[in-house]
Structures are given as C-alpha cells and as structure tokens.
C-alpha cells in the first residue's frame, strides 16, 4: 500500500520528520511508493507581488527537481476543495493515510483541521508529524503551565528543550509516484526585480557560506546594514527549505554562535506567542494600544505612500524601503528603523506597515511579521516600551557608519562621501540630485508620539 505526503511549508527532503515517517510507512506496507502532493491556490498566488510569486515558484521547482520531476501539483481554491482532492488522490493510489507537517499559525491550523475532518469522513487518516520549529509552539511553559510572555525566560527554557538532531531521510528504495497530470501550471504572472534562486540545495549552500563568511563575527556584525553579517536564511526558513535543527546542530559555544542561536529562538518565541494568541496575527497583543490616536485620511495615506516608496527624506528609512522593493528583503535592524518611523514619526497604525511587508517580503512569516511589528510599535511582547523611539539619523550613523548602505539603494545620494550620506542637509550640494527633503521633524514628532501615549495612560 502506497502513502501520500502533503508538502506544506516544508519544501525539502532532508531533516523533514513528516516525509521520513511517510517513507517508513510505505516501506512497512510492502510498497515503497510515496506520492508527494503540493496544494496550489492560483487565486491567492495571483494576489502576491512579483517577488513573492517568483520566490515560491523557484522553491517549488527546486523541490520537484529533487523528486526527479514527480511532485504532484493539486488544485486548491480553499481548504475544503483541497481536502476533497486529497480524498480523490487516496482513491487513485489506494492509500489510506496522508502525512504532513503540523502547522501552528491560525491559517495553517484551520486548513489541517478541515483536511483531517474530510479524510476521517472517508475512512482515511491524516498524520501530522513534526513542525517548522526545534520546539513545537505550546511546548515551552512556566512551572504553572502558562506560556511565557517575555523572551529571555522563554529562551532559557527553550534552550533546554530544543531538539538539535537533524532527521535523515531513510535510505530505503523509495519510488516517487505520479498522479494523472492535471495540467496545473505554477508560473509567475508578474515580474520580479531580481532573479530568485531558491530550494533546499541553495539553502544548505547559503548556510555553509555564512559559516565561512560571518558566523564567527555574528555578534559584532549582525546589526551592521552595510556589511553582509547576517545568514540570509530567512527565506529558506519561511518556505521550509531548511529546518532550524540543521542550523542548531552546527553551532558551538562561542558568543557569536550563542547570539545566532538566540535569533533562531526569537522566531520560535513569536510562533509560540501567536499559537497562544492567534488573534494577534493582525490584532493587538496589548489591547490598550487600540486607543492610541493614529492619523487617518488622505494626508495619512500620502505619508504612507512616501514611506512605501522610500521618499521620506530620511536616508536610512528610504534605503530600507527601497531595498524591500528591489530585493523582497530588508536587513533586520533596518526593519526596526522603518517600523519605528512609520508608527512614531508618521503616527500611522502598525497594521499598515505589516500589510506592506506581507505583500513584498519573500521571507514572510505571519508570526515574525506581526510580532516584529508589534515589538517595535510598543504594543507587543517583551520589554519593548512604546517610548523606545528610534532616531533614524543616529541609527543610520551607527549601523551604516560610512553610508555605504544608503548609497547602494539611493542613487540621489551617491555623490556624497562617507557619513554625509545620512545628513544631506548638512552638505551644500546634498540635494543636487533631487533627493527629497525630510517630510517631518523627528524631534517634534517624537514629542507628539509621547504625548499621544500620555493620553491613553490618562484614560
């Protein structure tokens, strides 16, 4: 009897618990055939920006290649329809069981519940095995059984539980099965600003290069936007082209390695928070901040559009926003800078920025996106008070001291040398190439943000 494997956000063969379980099950049933399925929703795919379309299609192509061209693409307009397609696939392949990775985000949980219900109704079973995390969300708890709301104690407990032993795909005589072709094509309908390279092999190569290039200095260089000091693995983690176990297993005890380990744990902390508070995917973790006065109307929309285009007149903010549009990615330190500017200089609600990031980030992850934004906006988890307001000029001077990052993404400032790129108003020809003047006065807007905080505190 053959087995069916449902690929979700785990687009890899190695270190994939669910796929390994499927291969073993097929072998025990005296049939080594595994049918690998991926559910494709053309309607939701069409809504994605070009960079995200190309990001997904390249990852799928790489996965199909690793399966010798035998990845089965199944239509999926919604979870209910997809569940019926899975039932049909079971009938065609004489399979009684479907295996898949367990999801913990609201959308993924709803999907797997619908699929499980339909399979059970037809005498079939759905086995959810493993997850995208070293520690499943909901596992790390305090002595009283409640979840952690602050990162540091969460990390200490998580570090004791983290599974860092990668799972090898069983070396059995597995045959990848194919369903009758349905002529389903996954092709981008929009252009991408750059050529996307993706897939498990590329993710593993990226990690090897990171270890050689920057891992040992990660604690010193990860915040420098002008240096290649980060892993560039967020896309691979978001698509499941690599598992955190694979990364954790190769880390040592140095401070640099410990800081990288903590960054992996941040991702799992946010996943844990979203698991316990699923409404926070697009709503406030701290409800009192709903009362904060945010700007609305046409003027607010115009400010938002300038922020989206990278035309605020603040070089570090604009460089980050232009990097997002050009690459579908932004340096993590810069993400905090642009987020702080949107919420506390422009007084716009964090959900505006979170939606823009979701549209453009090739590494979009619902938990990290929502709670990363809420952390900076001061309404999220951990000790990040609202009155922590980033000065975009000082942040630029500190984390891009020579102005290289700014000049890379803002052609209008390439004639300025060194740190002067961060303060074109201080140079006689700073605006000679048409760069925008600052749209607001940071000092005044900082005071305004704090005044609005006092209003809700008074309430």
| pLDDT, position 200 | 98
Q: Strand locations in 312-363, DSSP E?
A: none
Euclidean distance between CA atoms 290 and 283, whole angstroms: 9
For 446, the token pair is 């900082």
Per-residue pLDDT of the chain (459 residues; tens, 9 = 90+): 789 999 999 999 999 999 999 999 998 877 789 999 999 998 899 999 999 999 999 999 999 999 999 999 998 889 999 999 999 999 999 999 999 999 999 999 999 999 999 999 999 999 999 999 999 999 999 999 999 999 999 999 999 999 889 999 998 888 999 998 776 778 999 999 999 999 999 999 999 999 999 999 999 999 999 999 999 999 999 999 999 999 999 999 999 999 999 999 999 999 999 999 999 999 999 999 999 999 999 999 999 999 999 999 999 999 999 999 999 999 999 999 999 999 999 999 999 999 999 999 999 999 999 999 999 999 998 766 778 899 999 999 999 999 999 999 999 999 999 999 999 999 999 999 999 999 999 999 999 999 999 998 887
Cβ proximity of 209 and 233 under 8 Å: no
Q: Residue 412 has what DSSP assignment?
A: G
Q: Given the structure tokens 């951990």, which residue do they identify?
A: 382
Q: Given the structure tokens 């983690």, which residue do they identify?
A: 237
Euclidean distance between CA atoms 34 and 176, whole angstroms: 5
Euclidean distance between CA atoms 371 and 16, whole angstroms: 26
Euclidean distance between CA atoms 451 and 318, whole angstroms: 26
Which residues, other chains included, contact 91 with Cβ-Cβ below 8 Å and sequence gap of 6+?
A: none
State the number of CA atoms in the 13 A half-sphere of 139 facing the CB. 19
Q: Which domains does the chain have, with CATH numbers?
A: 3-131 (3.40.50.620), 133-165+200-276 (1.25.40.80), 287-458 (1.10.579.10)
| pLDDT, position 383 | 61
Instruction: Name which of 229, 151, 237 is nearest 198 in CA terms.
Output: 237
Cβ proximity of 151 and 375 under 8 Å: no
Euclidean distance between CA atoms 296 and 318, whole angstroms: 22
| Contacts by 78-84, CB closer than 8 A, 24 or more apart | 78/41, 79/110, 79/111, 79/114, 79/115, 80/114, 80/118, 82/39, 82/111, 82/115, 83/114, 83/115, 83/117, 83/118, 83/119, 84/118
Residue ranges of the alpha helices (H) in 173-296? Answer: 200-213, 218-221, 234-239, 244-248, 255-276
State the number of CA atoms in the 13 A half-sphere of 160 facing the CB. 8
| pLDDT, position 237 | 98
| pLDDT, position 28 | 85
Q: Residue 435 has what DSSP assignment?
A: P
The CA-based dihedral angle spanning residues 5, 11, 16, 17, taken in that order and rounded to the nearest 10 degrees: -40
Q: CA 188 from chain center: how many Å? A: 20
Cβ proximity of 179 and 6 under 8 Å: no
Q: CA 57 from chain center: how many Å? A: 17
Q: Given the structure tokens 């942040």, which residue do they identify?
A: 395
| Cβ-based neighbour number of residue 12 at 10 Å | 25
Angstrom CA distances, 374 to 108, 162, 230, 363, 383, stand at 21, 26, 22, 18, 12
| pLDDT, position 129 | 98
Cβ proximity of 117 and 79 under 8 Å: no
């Amino acid at each position: 009897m053959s087995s069916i494997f449902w690929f979700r956000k785990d687009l890899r063969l190695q270190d994939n618990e669910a796929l390994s379980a499927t291969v073993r099950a097929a072998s025990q049933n005296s049939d080594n055939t595994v049918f690998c399925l991926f559910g494709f929703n053309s309607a939701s795919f069409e809504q994605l920006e070009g960079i995200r379309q190309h990001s997904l299609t390249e990852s799928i192509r790489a996965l199909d290649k690793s399966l010798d061209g035998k990845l089965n693409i199944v239509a999926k307009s919604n979870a209910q329809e997809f569940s019926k397609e899975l039932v049909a696939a079971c009938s065609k392949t004489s399979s009684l069981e479907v295996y898949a990775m367990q999801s913990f985000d609201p959308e993924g949980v709803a999907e797997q519940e619908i699929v499980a219900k339909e399979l059970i109704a037809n005498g079939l079973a759905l086995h959810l095995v493993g997850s995208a995390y070293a520690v499943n969300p909901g596992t790390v708890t305090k002595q009283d059984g409640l979840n952690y709301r602050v990162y540091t104690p969460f990390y200490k407990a998580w570090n004791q539980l983290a599974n860092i032993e990668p799972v090898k795909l069983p070396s059995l005589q597995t045959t990848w099965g194919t369903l009758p072709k349905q002529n389903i094509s996954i092709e981008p309908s929009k252009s991408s600003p750059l050529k996307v390279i993706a897939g498990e092999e590329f993710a593993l190569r990226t990690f090897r290069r990171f270890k050689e290039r920057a891992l040992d200095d990660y604690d010193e260089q990860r915040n420098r936007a002008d240096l290649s000091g980060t892993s560039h693995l967020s896309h691979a983690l978001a698509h499941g082209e690599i598992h955190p176990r694979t990364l954790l297993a190769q880390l040592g005890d140095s401070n640099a390695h410990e800081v990288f380990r903590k960054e992996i744990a941040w991702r799992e902390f946010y996943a844990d928070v979203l698991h316990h508070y699923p409404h926070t995917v697009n709503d406030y973790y701290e409800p009192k901040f709903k009362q904060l006065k945010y700007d609305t109307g046409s003027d607010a929309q115009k400010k938002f559009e300038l922020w989206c285009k990278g035309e605020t007149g603040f070089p570090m903010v604009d460089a980050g926003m232009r990097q997002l549009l050009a690459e579908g990615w932004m340096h993590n330190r810069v993400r905090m800078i642009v987020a702080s500017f949107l919420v506390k200089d422009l007084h716009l609600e964090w959900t505006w920025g979170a939606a823009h990031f979701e549209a453009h980030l090739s590494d979009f992850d619902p938990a990290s996106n929502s709670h990363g934004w809420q952390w900076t906006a001061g309404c999220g988890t951990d000790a990040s008070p609202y009155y922590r307001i980033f000065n975009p000029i000082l942040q630029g001077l500190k984390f891009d001291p020579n102005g290289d990052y700014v000049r890379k993404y803002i052609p209008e400032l390439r004639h300025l040398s060194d740190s002067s790129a961060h303060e074109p108003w201080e140079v006689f020809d700073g605006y000679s190439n048409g760069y925008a003047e600052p749209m607001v006065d940071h000092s005044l807007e900082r005071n305004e943000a704090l005044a609005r905080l006092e209003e809700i505190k008074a309430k």
